[in-house]
């Protein structure tokens, strides 16, 4: 926009000069061309940032161009519109708002003085042109300011989005590390228990067994007593081993807490609809957070299918891919006629998915389907 206004500014100096030189008697063409050249030099000086001289250069340019317009008449009054453009050209140093208002008022006075010898029709037309030019420049300045504000806001939003994405990525990495450290700590605790308890018991039982073998020929009764003690201690060791294994393996209720298969059976029994579940791809272990999101989104999608679509059949397809796991939930209910209005449940689905860097989408071809895509983070070794 600044380049266009700069070209328009110089054209409004050249075109009136050519028209006046063609239709008007200017006396000495050489002096007239020197005056036109001086106007161009003043116009270029306005682009130089010279601090406090900006307002002074504007007054000098207004007075000089006004004098030329008054002296040569013809079309030279249009050159003052070039000076008017300089108040709004963003490529030149901008005066303050009060200076802009004062500059417009000054130009209006000089403009009318320069055309006072012109016919009344020309004066009216010239004033209308001045007003229309001023209004156009104001609109262009407002549009330029709004565009600059919109671009600034967009840059801020982009920066915030990048910061949020970086924070989300760090949060996911931190959650992975916390989970892996928790697993490592639990393994260390279990190995310590096995070493301190079962290890010492097995060593003691081995020593008692060797002692029983050595004294068996001479003292068979005492050897038999030692073997009975070894048997009792082995029973205690086996019970300790069972307790340790139970600690390692989670309870069946915890394993099935966020199981899609359990959801399928529960939904079929409680709601009386047909729910089928199928798996595509090579299954792999999922983080608890991913299992939770899949379970809750499937639960919400089935509820919406029954409530809004009166569905009687729902199909859950879980597809394992190298970089992501996707869940497609389709139903045979009625499809939405227009855009989907997002309620509390839909917003909750999107929030859960976006927290771990996934996406959610829907399609409505033969059946209405909700698709949840979540990234799969391969297990990485954590070094302490």
Say whether pLDDT at 87 is over 80. Answer: no
Say whether pLDDT at 72 is over 80. Answer: no
Q: Token pair for residue 323?
A: 């970089």
In CATH, what class is 181-253? mainly alpha
CB-based burial label for 31 (10 Å; 0-12, 13-18, 19+) = exposed
Name the average pLDDT for the chain: 77
Element (H, E) at 173: helix 120-193
Strand partners, 278: 317
| Calpha distance 257→246 (Å, rounded) | 18
- pLDDT average, residue stretch 23-39: 79
218 pLDDT band (50/70/90 cuts)? confident
What secondary structure does DSSP assign to 96-141, as a single string?
PHHHHHHHHHHHHHHHHHHTTTS-HHHHHHHHHHHHHHHHHHHHHH
Q: What's the distance, Cα to Cα, between the start and end of the chain in Å?
A: 58
Q: What is the pLDDT of residue 246?
A: 64
Q: Are 38 and 92 in contact (CB under 8 A)?
A: no
> 181-253 with 256-375: one CATH topology?
no
Q: What is the pLDDT of residue 195?
A: 66
Strand partners, 277: 316
Q: What is the pLDDT of residue 145?
A: 79
10 Å Cβ neighbour count for 167?
A: 10
Domain borders along the chain are: 2-118, 181-253, 256-375
Q: What is the pLDDT of residue 94?
A: 54
DSSP 47: T
Strands 313-320 vs 359-364: parallel, antiparallel or unpaired: unpaired
| Calpha distance 376→352 (Å, rounded) | 15
What digits encode the pLDDT tens for the residues 155-199? 899 888 888 888 877 877 777 777 677 767 777 777 776 666 667
Q: Please give the distance of CA 362 from its chain centroid, rounded to a whole number.
A: 21
What digits encode the pLDDT tens for the residues 243-302? 766 665 554 444 445 577 777 777 777 777 888 888 998 888 887 778 888 888 888 888
What digits encode the pLDDT tens for the residues 292-346? 888 888 888 888 888 878 888 899 999 999 888 999 999 888 877 666 666 677 7
Nearest to 124 by CA among 115, 137, 134: 115
Q: Please give the distance of CA 298 from its chain centroid, rounded to a whole number.
A: 26
Q: What is the pLDDT of residue 384?
A: 37
In CATH, what class is 256-375? alpha beta
Torsion angles phi and psi, residue 277, rounded to 5:
-130, 130
Q: What is the pLDDT of residue 382?
A: 38
What digits encode the pLDDT tens for the residues 49-66? 555 566 777 777 778 888
Q: What is the pLDDT of residue 380?
A: 45
| Calpha distance 269→278 (Å, rounded) | 18
Strands 274-280 vs 313-320: parallel, antiparallel or unpaired: parallel
List Cα–Cα distances, 188 to 193, 194, 229, 239, in angstroms: 9, 10, 30, 20
| Calpha distance 361→352 (Å, rounded) | 13
Who wins on pLDDT, 366 or 279? Answer: 279
Q: In what order do the strands lie in the sheet with 368-375?
A: 274-280, 313-320, 324-331, 368-375, 359-364
Taking the CA atoms of residue 284, residue 290, residue 291 and residue 296 in that order, the dihedral angle to the nearest 10 degrees is -150
281 Ramachandran zone, left/alpha/beta (phi>0; psi -120 to 50): left
Q: What is the pLDDT of residue 381?
A: 39
Q: Token pair for residue 370?
A: 């909700």
Torsion angles phi and psi, residue 375, rounded to 5:
-70, 145
DSSP 335: P
Q: Token pair for residue 253?
A: 């209720």
What secondary structure does DSSP assign to 175-220, as a single string?
HHHHHHHHHHHHHHHHHHHIIIIIIHHHHHHHHHHHHHHHHTTT-H
Torsion angles phi and psi, residue 58, rounded to 5:
-65, -45
Torsion angles phi and psi, residue 51, rounded to 5:
65, -120
Radius of gyration in angstroms for the set of CA atoms belonging to the chain, rounded to a whole number:
43
């Amino acid at each position: 926009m600044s380049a266009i206004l700069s070209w328009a500014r110089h054209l409004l100096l050249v075109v009136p000069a050519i028209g006046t030189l063609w239709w008007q008697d200017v006396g000495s063409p050489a002096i007239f061309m020197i005056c036109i050249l001086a106007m161009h030099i003043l116009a270029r000086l306005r682009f130089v940032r010279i601090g406090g001289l900006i307002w002074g250069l504007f007054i000098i340019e207004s007075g000089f161009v006004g004098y030329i317009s008054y002296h040569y008449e013809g079309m030279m009054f249009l050159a003052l519109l070039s000076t008017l453009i300089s108040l709004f050209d963003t490529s030149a140093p901008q005066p303050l708002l009060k200076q802009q208002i004062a500059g417009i008022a000054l130009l209006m006075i000089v403009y009318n003085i320069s055309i006072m010898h012109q016919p009344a029709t020309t004066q009216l037309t010239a004033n209308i042109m001045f007003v229309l030019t001023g209004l156009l420049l104001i609109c262009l300045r407002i549009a330029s300011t709004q565009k600059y504000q919109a671009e600034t806001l967009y840059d801020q939003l982009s920066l915030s989005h990048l910061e949020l994405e970086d924070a989300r990525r760090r949060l996911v990495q931190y959650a992975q590390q916390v989970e892996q450290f928790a697993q490592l700590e639990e393994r260390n605790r279990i190995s310590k228990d096995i070493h301190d308890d079962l290890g010492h018991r097995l060593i003691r039982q081995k020593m008692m067994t060797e002692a029983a073998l050595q004294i068996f020929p001479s003292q068979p009764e005492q050897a038999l007593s030692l073997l009975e003690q070894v048997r009792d201690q082995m029973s205690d060791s086996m019970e300790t081993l069972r307790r340790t294994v139970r600690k390692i393996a989670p309870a069946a209720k915890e394993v099935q807490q966020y199981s899609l298969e359990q959801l399928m059976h529960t939904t079929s029994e409680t709601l009386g609809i047909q729910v089928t579940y199928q798996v595509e791809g090579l299954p792999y272990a999922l983080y608890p957070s991913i299992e939770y999101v899949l379970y809750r989104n499937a639960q919400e999608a089935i509820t919406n299918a029954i409530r809004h679509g009166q569905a009687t059949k729902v199909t859950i397809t879980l597809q394992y891919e190298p970089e992501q796991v996707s869940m497609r939930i389709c139903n045979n209910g009625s499809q939405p006629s227009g855009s989907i209005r997002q309620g509390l449940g839909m917003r909750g689905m999107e929030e859960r998915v976006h927290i771990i860097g996934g996406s959610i989408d829907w399609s409505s071809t033969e059946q209405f389907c909700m698709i949840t895509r979540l990234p799969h983070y391969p297990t990485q070794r954590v070094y302490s």
